[in-house]
Amino acid sequence: MKRLKKNERGAALLEAAITVPIILLVSVGIFEFGRAYQTWQVLTNAAREGARLAVIQGSTDTDVTARVRNYMQSGSLPNYASATVTVARNVVLTGPDTASRIQINYPFRFIVLNPVVRLIAPRNSTTGAPITMTSSAIMRNEM
């Protein structure tokens, strides 16, 4: 085993103290952005489910909104009730066709990264606040 010189004693401890927080921040960032991507996928699929119901004759906007919120709930999204669901019917397409568009605005909050960013950002800054994820789907109406 190699003996360290007197002036190299704390080098390993100092290197660990510098690299471990960086590795933890990168690891947490990977998990957080993976969770954000999964949330966006659930929102996209919920918008598609709503659009599928919206193009069927006889469905109401309340039915469509309930289907979207149920999908978001089954996708385990927290605060799914705070999402804004917009149903637009008879959106004009090319030619005589019309479509229905479902748009979802969902407030997404990073669990670990937001508090870390708030430690660095000024007090009156909106940095670290929830971001609004938006997803929409459009489908041609049935005749």
pLDDT tens, position by position, 8-41: 667 888 888 899 989 998 999 899 999 999 999 9
Residues 6+ away with beta carbon under 8 Å from 49: 67, 68, 71
In this prediction, residue 70 carries a pLDDT of: 96
Which own/partner contact pairs does 79-88 have at CB distance under 8 Å and 24+ positions apart? Answer: 79/106, 79/107, 80/106, 82/106, 82/107, 83/43, 83/107, 85/50, 87/50, 87/54, 87/61
In this prediction, residue 41 carries a pLDDT of: 97
CA dist., res. 125 & res. 123, Å (int): 6
In this prediction, residue 2 carries a pLDDT of: 64
pLDDT tens, position by position, 80-100: 999 999 999 988 888 888 899
